[in-house]
Amino acid sequence: MTRKTIGTNVLLGVTGGIAAYKAAQLASTLTKEGLMVRVVMTKGAENFVGPLTFASVTGNPVAGNMFDPAQEVTIGHIELARWADIIVVAPATANFLAKAGAGMADDLLTTVLLAARCPLLLAPAMNPQMYTHPAVKKNLEVLVKRGALVAGPASGRTACGEEGPGRMTEPDEIAELVRKNLAPQDLAGVRIVVTAGPTREHMDPVRYISNPSTGRMGLEIARSAWLRGASVTLVLGPTALEAPLGVNVRRVTTAQEMYEATVEAAADAHAVIKAAAVSDFAPKDCVTYKVKKEDGAGQACSFISTPDILAALGKEKKDRILIGFAAETEDVIKNGRSKLERKNLDMLVANDISAPDSGFAVTTNQVHFITREAEPQALPLMSKADVAWRILDKLSELKKGRF
Element (H, E) at 120: strand 120-124
209 is in an annotated binding site: no
How far from 223 is each of 197, 230, 243, CA to CA, in Å?
Answer: 14, 10, 8
Q: What CA dihedral angle connects 340, 346, 352 and 358, to 10 degrees?
A: -160
Question: Cβ distance 269 to 263 under 8 Å?
Answer: no
48 is in an annotated binding site: no
Q: Which phi and psi angles does 369 have, rounded to 5°?
A: -95, 120
172 is in an annotated binding site: no
CA distance 145 to 94: 18
334 is in an annotated binding site: no
Q: What is the DSSP letter of 330?
A: S
CB atoms within 10 A of CB 311: 13
- Who's near 292: CB < 8 A, 6+ residues apart? none
370 is in an annotated binding site: no
CA distance 199 to 311: 17
Q: Could you write out the DSSP letters of every residue in 132-165?
A: TSHHHHHHHHHHHHTT-EE--PEEEE-TTS-EEE
Q: Tell whether the torsion through CA atoms of 125, 131, 135 and 141 is positive or negative.
A: positive
CA distance 32 to 350: 30
343 is in an annotated binding site: yes
Q: Choose among 225, 90, 188, 78: nearest CA to 148.
A: 90
**Residue-wise over 105-129: b if at least 16 C-beta within 10 A, else e?**
bebbbbbbbeebebbbbbbbbbbbe
Q: What CA dihedral angle connects 223, 240, 329 and 383, to 10 degrees?
A: 40
180 is in an annotated binding site: no
Q: Which of 118, 160, 286, 301 is catalytic?
A: 160
309 is in an annotated binding site: yes
CB atoms within 10 A of CB 304: 10
SS3 342: helix
Residue 301 falls in the annotated catalytic set: no
CA distance 265 to 255: 15
310 is in an annotated binding site: yes
Binding site members for CTP = 280, 290, 307-310, 325, 339, 343
Catalytic annotation, residues? 160
Binding site members = 280, 290, 307-310, 325, 339, 343
